[in-house]
Chain A
Amino acid sequence: MTFTKKRKQRMSILIAVMVIMALLAGCGGGSGNSAQKANGEDDKSQKVQLQFYMLGDAPKDLSTIEAEINKLAEKDLNATVKFNYTTWTDWDQKYKLLLSSGQPIDLIFTADWTQYQAYAKKGAFLPLDDLLPKASPALQKFVPQDMWDGVKIGGKIYTVPGTYKEYVTNGFVWREDLREKYNLPKPTDIKSYEAYMDGIRQHEPNMKTVSLNSDIKGNLHDRYTELVTKSVGALPYGIGIKYEKPTEVYKYWGSDEQKEELNTYKRWADKGFIPKNVLNVKDTLQDQVTSGKAASIFGDNPTRFNDMVIKLKASHPDWKLEYYPFPLTTGYATPVHPIHNGFAIPKSSPNPARALAFYEKLVTDKRYNLLTQYGIEGKNYEVKDGYYHMIGSGSSNGFSREGMNSWAWRNPEYMLFDSGFDRVKKIFAELDKIQKPDLFTGFAEDYTTYQAEKAALEQVEKQYLYPLQAGLIDNVDQGLQTFLQKANQAGLEKIQTEYTKQWEAYVKEKGIK
């Protein structure tokens, strides 16, 4: 008796374990299903699920929006779509894995900062030239031809560019109430900015004059070259190219221009504008201003300036922020390059034609577009006097404005703005008058031949250049000499020669003069 009872028990445990294992094994999801006929035609009678990959964190109400979209898409295209997010945490690693693993993905976000050019060059995406007129003629017409030309890499289109025109050029941000109180000059260039900071230092000794954090290169150097040396963009490896003379490549590192730049930082550090522990500061530039810790930002773009103003309006209505865009000083403004926001179809996509057809709907169909940009009307947002109004607050509303990180399929015709955004539109209108095309972003660097030197140089920069840029080195000339010497040992010469060659080829191909 006892024997059989024990045996039963034992068997039941074994069975339980097996069931669990079977369950676990069964959890595996199905992989991509293709409705592509042998001749490449899209068979619309076959239902497919599209895999859509985006960067960042998913909004809380994503599942309800997805369900609504799927209702529409099932009727129109016999397809459903699954929105996947990478999170901001390890997005670059994950992005690389998604593209290199051959996983079935139908649409993926691209931008200059996700290395669209490099991936396109390496063949990660599907060329769209032949597919566009067949699968999405309306989309092809909707995007202007010069934008299609702008995203071409090696003569082929690999991404669908976003058509909303915006400027992410930088500008001074400062506390206007303090400036008025102490009668300080308006920052418009380095000199007046320094005078403003001098005044703040004098009258508000406990305040940081400028908001900085550990990303010194981004906070100071990139802003400086945009404003003072009028560089075509944030160039790497000490390369210098001026916007007025894009065909002339020179060595910025070691030039008098750079010496002047470094001396400026040294002076700022001596005056106490740059704190000694700056390389350890982790706070964001914006937080430091909105909390009243710092009195200015050396450079920020109009949209983010606007975000700060809105934030301050709620917490410190008596403070005033003011903005001066760099382009008004430099004389030209470059709207974002078409590459800046886009969606590509990876090589691994089982249903490229259907994916394009769906994307066309997202951009051109008002129902799809509003749903994915702003959520459900009446639940997530409402429209008052033509302005966008969020219902509830950011923490209680599950889908804020552009909460899906849907920057790439904004449609200027349907776009809704917060009333505070008028400020940005005003700045944009001003910049429109002096706009010139962005020359730099279409350039695709290929660093395979100098990968080792590049890695070595990055180390040298961190060790010898950053302290110089933070004004921490007493003898600037000597510090620069040491840095250049180390950089040359790391193979600077080879990198610069190779980069120059590639740039010259690019300029020739695009006919830039």
Chain B
Amino acid sequence: MAIKEDVYTRIFKIISYVIIIIASIACLLPFLLIISASLTSNESIIRDGYHFIPQQFSLEGYRTVFTFPEEVLRAYGVTIFTTVVGTTLGLFLMTMAGYVLARKDFKYRNAFSFYIYFTTLFGGGLVPWYIMLTKYLGLLDTYTVLIFPGLMTPFLIILMKNFIRSSMPEELFESAKIDGAGDFKIYYRIVLPLSTPGIATVGLFLALAYWNDWFSSSLFINDPHKYQLQYYLYNVINSMQFIAQMGAGTGVSLSNDMPTESTKMAMAIVVTGPILLLYPFIQRYFVKGLTIGAVKG
């Protein structure tokens, strides 16, 4: 026999269900609106506004997007590439850094930690950063520039360092050393396997940062073939606004067919769709990594 719930538990449950239902509706409705708008004819959107049920059904938006599907696919490819390579490399570098800074027998760890910490307080600003990457490193219009600046984040390094320090006692390293392991072996055989929860957390942060990145494309990429997915979408949606504001007074006549409202919405669906479908399958790993990281670290 199940234990009878007392009144307070039941009230609590009711309240929490209501809140969750309202919250999920609030999340779902805008998305439904986008789906509906992507299936509405453009004229009808401008004339009647957005509706949850298309007033004038039309597949025009999707047709326009898929006239040149390679553009969207290429942007997808760039984002996937930068995310995978960036996350792998970044994790490698940050666990290394975290491990080294966590070792008490590393003489200059305080100096290095301070140096890393210092950059979170003072930055050079946008222009010097831009000059550094384009003029001195020559990274304009390369895939490197999409990956390189995000590889090491001070906050994540400190997180990793603290995680390693708190979960692995110094004695562990000592005993490994006595057994004949070198520094690389300790890193590879002991630190890495023991810090999987930390890696999961940091990896998640990194991957999300790369996936959502649009700013690097906006500043450093001139070749449309190298746009990241988010920037590609952002650009399509924004160019319309430019025309609205600037065009009339300047006489700039844009002969290219501009994306219409329904095309923009169709684009949003095409771009976000696959990740939405993928998310339920990988979500459990995310949750696991985060909770383990939270409890232990």
Which of A24-32, A36-44, A187-195, A252-260 touches B?
A: A24-32
- Do B43 and A291 touch (CB < 8 A)? yes
Chain B residue with the shortest CB-CB distance to A94: B219
Q: How far is the CA of A90 from the CA of B126 in the complex (A)?
A: 14
Q: Does the CB pair A395–B239 fall under 8 Å?
A: no
On whether the beta carbons of A293 and B47 are closer than 8 Å, the reply is yes
Most buried by A among B139, B246, B250: B250
Could you say which of B218, B247, B250 contacts A90, with CB atoms under 8 Å apart? B218
Majority SS of interface residues in chain B? helix
Residues of A within 8 A of B235 (CB): 57, 87-89
Q: Is B253 an interface residue (CB 8 A)?
A: yes
Interface pair A88/B142, CB less than 8 Å apart: no
Segment 193-208 of A: residues with Cβ below 8 Å from B: none
Chain A 12-24 against B: per-residue CB contact (8 Å), 1 yes, 0 no? Answer: 0000010011001
Check A87/B256 contact, CB under 8 A, given A102-B135, A113-B246, A304-B247.
no
Q: A292 to B249, Cβ gap below 8 A? A: no
Alpha-carbon separation in the docked complex, A234 to B254 (Å):
23
Contacts of A405 in B (CB 8 A): 252, 254
B108 sits at the interface (CB 8 A): no
B144 close to A401 (CB less than 8 A):
no
Q: How many residues of A contact B (CB 8 A)?
A: 68
- B135: A residues at CB distance < 8 A: 31, 101-103
- Whether, in the assembled complex, B53 has its beta carbon less than 8 Å from a beta carbon of chain A, the answer is no
Whether B85 lies near A291 (C-beta < 8 A) is no
User: How near does chain A come to B133, taking the closest CB pair, in angstroms?
Assistant: 10
Question: Is B137 engaged at the interface, CB distance under 8 Å to the other chain?
Answer: yes
Q: Which residue of B lies closest to A402 (CB)?
A: B255
- Shortest C-beta distance, B168 to chain A (Å), equals 20
A218 touches B245 (CB 8 A): yes
Closest to B85 in A: A20
* B142 adjacent to A394 (CB under 8 Å): no
Report if A307 contacts B (CB, 8 A).
yes
Partner of B253, one of A218, A282, A402: A402
Residue of B with least CB distance to A169: B251
Identify A293's interface contact among B46, B64, B147, CB under 8 A: B46
Cβ B143 vs Cβ A27 within 8 A: yes
A287 at the interface (CB under 8 A from B): yes
Is B256 a contact of A394 with CB atoms below 8 Å? yes
Task: Flag whether A58 is at the interface (Cβ < 8 A).
Answer: yes
Q: Which residues of A in the span 53-91 have a Cβ within 8 Å of any Cβ on B? A: 56-60, 84-91
Q: A17-B89, A299-B248 are in contact. List 7 more A-B contacts (CB 8 A).
A: A29-B141, A103-B131, A103-B140, A284-B240, A284-B243, A288-B46, A340-B250
Residues of B within 8 A of A (CB): 42-43, 46-47, 64, 67-68, 85, 89, 92, 126-127, 130-131, 134-135, 137-144, 147-148, 188, 218-219, 222-224, 231, 234-235, 238-257
The 6 closest A-B CB pairs, nearest first, are A168-B251, A394-B257, A84-B222, A88-B242, A291-B46, A28-B138
